[in-house]
Structure 1
Amino acid sequence: MSASNGMQQSFNPPGTEGAADQYRLSQAMRVGDMIWVSGQVGVTPDRTVPDGIEAQTRLTFENLKTVLESAGATLDDVVELTLLLTDTSIDLEPFYRVKDEYIRPPYPAITGFGVSSLALPGLLLEVRAVAVAGSAANR
């Protein structure tokens, strides 16, 4: 089935099946060229949460990259990010420094929210994304 036919397609890259089954979700859904990515967090494949915003941000964007690639897109195709933070007083400079290693200009729209907690203890942030596959082809 071609993604351009307007049918919904679910994507769960290798290594994410456990979370997808446990939480009854798709890591990404694609309809045509539009891709909606579930919130990604900074956890290792064995579900370890590293300490610190920088380490969690790096893993979060690695996980986001993997999910987007499984759905036929790249980080350059991201048009919107939503950031959830468990501590809005945290220094976000490490987050932006790492994000800028993965997300190049023109930067996507970003919305941030403060939340009381996330799915696993110790998580500091979660990032969800919307992408349009192939939209960055002429960059």
Structure 2
Amino acid sequence: MVKRVVIPQEFQEAAEKLNMSPAIFSGNHIFLSGMTGADMSGNMPEDPEAQFRNTFKKIACILNEANLDLDAIVEMTSYHIGLREHFELFDSIRLELFSKPYPAWTAIEAAALRREGALVEVRAVVSANYGG
């Protein structure tokens, strides 16, 4: 099976520095690497809402590069620092951005994330042939 990388211009430098792909097409799916709440410049805000919105903004940027939108996500896993303190806020933002049918979703409390100061990391699986 052929794999094809998805790297928006905004992620080129980070992908090269970290030796990773933001997303990979494989068959009829796109597998997204975990995205944290740093902004497109790499700055990690302290504000949880800003982090959560940045996370989804980066996911949307990757999907846009593949000519898709957030509704193409079929499954996502979110890893949280302080899950119970921030769950309602994260969930309210999730519900602003997604529509029915909602993606399958698992939220996990994590002891730590690779990126210093990150409160969330979200990975996703996307239907590459989503037609709305």
Q: CA deviation at 1:136?
A: 4.3
Letter in 1 for 2:37: G
Structure 1 position 92 matched with structure 2 position 84: no
Partner residue, 1:29: 24
Letter in 2 for 1:22: K
Q: Distance in 2 between matches of 1:62 and 1:127?
A: 11
Letter in 2 for 1:20: A
Task: Judge conservation of contact 1:68–1:74 (CA < 8 Å) in 2.
Answer: yes
TM-score (structure 1 length as normaliser):
0.87
Number of matched residues?
Answer: 132
Letter in 2 for 1:44: D
Q: Distance in 2 between matches of 1:51 and 1:117?
A: 16
Task: Judge conservation of contact 2:36–2:115 (CA < 8 Å) in 1.
Answer: no
Partner residue, 1:56: 51
Task: Judge conservation of contact 1:86–1:125 (CA < 8 Å) in 2.
Answer: yes
Q: CA deviation at 1:72?
A: 3.1
Whose helix fraction is larger, Structure 1's or Structure 2's?
2
Residue 16 of structure 2 aligns to a residue whose secondary structure is helix
Task: Judge conservation of contact 2:25–2:128 (CA < 8 Å) in 1.
Answer: no
Per-residue CA deviations over 1:75-134 (Å, capped at 9, x if unaligned) read: 111100100011233131111111112111111111122212212211100111101023
Partner residue, 2:40: 45
**Following TM superposition, where does structure 1 have runs of at least 4 consecutive aligned residues deviating by more than 3 angstroms?**
none
Structure 1, gaps ≥5 residues long: 1-5
> Which residue of the other structure, out of 15, 28, 50, is the alignment partner of 2:10?
15
Partner residue, 1:113: 108
Structure 1 position 133 matched with structure 2 position 128: yes
Partner residue, 1:124: 119
TM-score (structure 2 length as normaliser):
0.91
